[in-house]
Structure 1
Amino acid sequence: MPKDIDTELGVERKKHAVSIPGTSEPVKSFWQKLVSLGVELRGLEPIPLELRITSIFSHYSQKRPWGFFPDMTALGLQDWYRGRHDAWLILLIPSCYTLTLAPLLDMRQWCQLRYVYGKYFNQVISFVGLLGTAIFGIVASVTGGQTLASVNPGTLSIEGGIAIILLVAFFIGFMGYKVLHGFARYAWIPAAFGVVILIGCAGDRLHQQAPSCATGARPWLSLISLTADISFTWGGIIGDYACYMPKKAPRFRLAFYFFPDLVSYSHCL
């Protein structure tokens, strides 16, 4: 039966069926329709070398909205008596290292954690990471819904704004990493406008930062707990952006492109 490999979706197309590499049974007609619409069906299977053709190593510089995540977290870490620069390093360096492992292992991030923590303990890690990601998504959806409601007073409720944010996020995420990367390529533009507006409204107060005065074990334990939670959340997604890159992808370049874009907003603020 004739077949060819779809390099965008990571599936094998046959004349009468669609199958996923690593499985023996053809995918049902329902999944065939999803594949024809561009939905990515790859799950836990390692990605074959012939599909790993992504060579745009600098596409992390196009995901500038992620910069808000460590920046706002670093602001929160000041409550644990640490300076912002220390908080940035604690959050960013492990993420940069984890990113460079994906091209070498050709697996999604949760698959990597499976071999690091073992079969059973990884279930706990996966649950905690999934819970942290879900909470972060809920908070982001509520914040986005409130923003939409505030710019449309009297015409759009907060619940309606939350529903719009969730539907848009579901549609983008459901279409696979090709669509997600395309969206992230330009999503930094409205985020940049938001930073400019923020600096214009609160620029005279941005210099007010809490001094670093960590004493005792309590602030350090609190910081470690919060950092572990953030690492679990990042562990489920960061390597997914590089798993379609070839095995010889330059690790230093990946970390170099990724690190400054995460701290760019922080330095602006």
Structure 2
Amino acid sequence: MSTGNNSSDGLGSHDKEKGLANGNTEVHAIEDAPDQVIAKRFGVFGPLLSKLFQSGVEARGVERVPENQRETKNSWNNLLMWWSVNMVLTTIPVGVLAQYAFTLTLPHAVATIFCFAALGSVATAFIAILGPQTGLRTMIISRYSSGYLGGTFFSVLNIITQLGFATTAVILGGQTLASTNANTLPLVGGIIIIGVCSLIPCFIGYNIIHVYERYAWMATLFIMCCLYGLGSKAGYDVNAQKASEDTGRALSADILSFGAIVFGSVAGWAPVAADYNVRLPVDTNPWRVFVLTFCGLFLPIVFTVTLGATLMTIGDPVYADALGSDGNTGALVAQVLSLWGGGGKFLLVLLALSVVSNNIPNTYSAALSIQALGRPFAMVPRFLWVLLVFVAYTVAGVAGREHFSAILSNFLSILSYWTAFFIVIVAEEHFLFRQKEGRLGGYNLADWDNPSKLPIGIAGLLACCFGIVGAVVGMSQVWYTGPIGKMAGAAHGADLGFELAAGFAAVTFPPLRWMEIRLTGR
């Protein structure tokens, strides 16, 4: 998994000469000292920004992290960060959908969770290894396969993705907080509290995010274990859905459609996976990064999503009433914890606040993706985009607070479509063209913001178009079912969107990219 043409500091001497010859003076300056460059840009506001950066607010945005500034040595942060991000209240509703939307029995739900979570974890863990190797954020890495224009296209999709994740997070966290104080705290107030708590670490930046995520999982793991135990006390009925579960092709369709949601909930982190280890040394073992990231995703996802599916087997109708027709998972969890009275309410508050761990990467990486749209956006300091992202998803959460279940099921399914072809394109570029012995001999890292040195992007964009076609013909949503999706399922079809999106892109990208390199040399 080599980055190819690199010396000990990650750039070959030829790359350095090219960067200097091309006059990339400001690029190198902002890589080495982003705080000074940004402060100079803003004239009279410069001293204020300097003080802000000196107080600990991260100045670096999408700029590459040079090897001599890789101060992070502990790759175990990969495991602990993703563990905290996924072992949260937000992940429980994914499991609830197994019975709520697809009437799967618990055994079928658990088998689906294991298989599709593993697939999504492998994909995301691969993207994570590129962070230390390049020192670049994920959306910038995509420029090396799809050019400046293709990278912008992926950035737009990722902004929508992270805002969608954040919206579902603040709604669920707000619902749960409101459940603890039904007569005093309105849902809107709960949403705002979760949003503000997510904003603070993201405003400060990379280091404080890792500090927070390193420990946040501990309390949540304890609460999840309590939920398993209290649910058992309430009475699990493993056969609760057996009478209503589909059979034959309809059952296969339900499994594939639920699997797409599980895959989307894990692979949805792939477009941000490299953002959180760019400060690891360039010689960090890629297999170590891969394994730690995989475990940090797969284990908590399986544990927590299975919890959601298990809670749905409680036979007492009181719990079904708590869930309601709108799929209020926060109220369901509150009902389970109510067996402990005041202690249960305290745990419920902590569980509601666990959503912050999940929402931090949404907020932080959405801001980075806005910067990755192009140089004019990158000129604006990262923390200002964080503020804009916070306002956007908080307003969206307040507006969509009564439709959480519909937002979640539709959003996560559609999310899996584009992340599937994104992962395939980046992976094929890396393994087929960017290996040391490959056609391009590695990544010319000095050119990360130089459109004339990056690929034109025609191959990447055309592969995206083929991926979209695959998604359209294979998808199965309430509002549309593609022809292959209809053939694969019964009455409502089967969601094969992400599989076909990945397949179409995987088949078309290599020949298109080979032709692009042959004609342009880049």
* Aligned-partner SS, 1:166: helix
- In the alignment, structure 2 segments of 5+ residues that lack a partner are 1-30, 307-522
Q: Hey, which of these two has a bigger chunk of helix by percent?
A: 2
Matched, 1:154 2:183: yes
- Residue 105 of structure 1 deviates from its aligned partner by 0.9
Amino acid corresponding to residue 78 of structure 2 in structure 1 = Y
CA distance in 2, matches of 1:108, 1:94: 16
The match for 1:67 is 86
1:236-262 Cα shifts (integer Å, max 9, x gaps): 421111100111111111222222232
CA distance in 2, matches of 1:141, 1:134: 11
Q: In the alignment, which of 197, 202, 208 is matched to residue 168 of structure 1?
A: 197
CA distance in 1, matches of 2:260, 2:152: 19
The match for 2:72 is 54
1:25-76 Cα shifts (integer Å, max 9, x gaps): 5662232132022111112221111111211011123232333477765775
CA distance in 1, matches of 2:59, 2:247: 48
Matched, 1:110 2:139: yes
The match for 2:439 is none
Matched, 1:256 2:291: yes
Q: 1:250 to 1:24 in 2, by over 3 A?
A: same
Q: In the alignment, which of 33, 45, 52 is matched to residue 12 of structure 1?
A: 33
Amino acid corresponding to residue 51 of structure 1 in structure 2 = Q
Q: In the alignment, which of 57, 60, 63 is matched to residue 45 of structure 1?
A: 63
Amino acid corresponding to residue 235 of structure 1 in structure 2 = A
CA distance in 2, matches of 1:91, 1:76: 18
Q: 1:127 to 1:88 in 2, by over 3 A?
A: same
Q: 1:11 to 1:243 in 2, by over 3 A?
A: same
Q: 1:154 to 1:77 in 2, by over 3 A?
A: closer
Q: 1:49 to 1:138 in 2, by over 3 A?
A: same
Matched, 1:240 2:275: yes
CA distance in 1, matches of 2:266, 2:150: 16
- Residue 140 of structure 1 deviates from its aligned partner by 0.6
The match for 1:4 is none
Q: How many residue pairs end up in the alignment?
A: 254
Superposition TM-score, scaled by structure 2 size: 0.43
* Aligned-partner SS, 2:33: strand
The match for 1:7 is none
- Residue 226 of structure 1 deviates from its aligned partner by 5.5
Contact 2:116 2:259 in 1 (8 A): no
Superposition TM-score, scaled by structure 1 size: 0.78
* Aligned-partner SS, 2:148: coil
CA distance in 2, matches of 1:40, 1:89: 33
- In the alignment, structure 1 segments of 5+ residues that lack a partner are 1-9
Amino acid corresponding to residue 196 of structure 2 in structure 1 = L
Q: 1:127 to 1:216 in 2, by over 3 A?
A: farther
Larger Rg over CA atoms: 2
* Aligned-partner SS, 1:184: helix
Q: 1:214 to 1:172 in 2, by over 3 A?
A: farther
- Residue 127 of structure 1 deviates from its aligned partner by 1.2
Q: 1:212 to 1:52 in 2, by over 3 A?
A: farther
Amino acid corresponding to residue 189 of structure 1 in structure 2 = M
Contact 2:94 2:262 in 1 (8 A): no
Amino acid corresponding to residue 292 of structure 2 in structure 1 = Y
Q: 1:73 to 1:104 in 2, by over 3 A?
A: farther
The match for 1:94 is 123
CA distance in 2, matches of 1:131, 1:163: 20
The match for 1:139 is 168
Q: Which has the higher contact order (CA 8 A, sep 6+)?
A: 1
Aligned-CA RMSD value: 3.5
* Aligned-partner SS, 1:83: helix
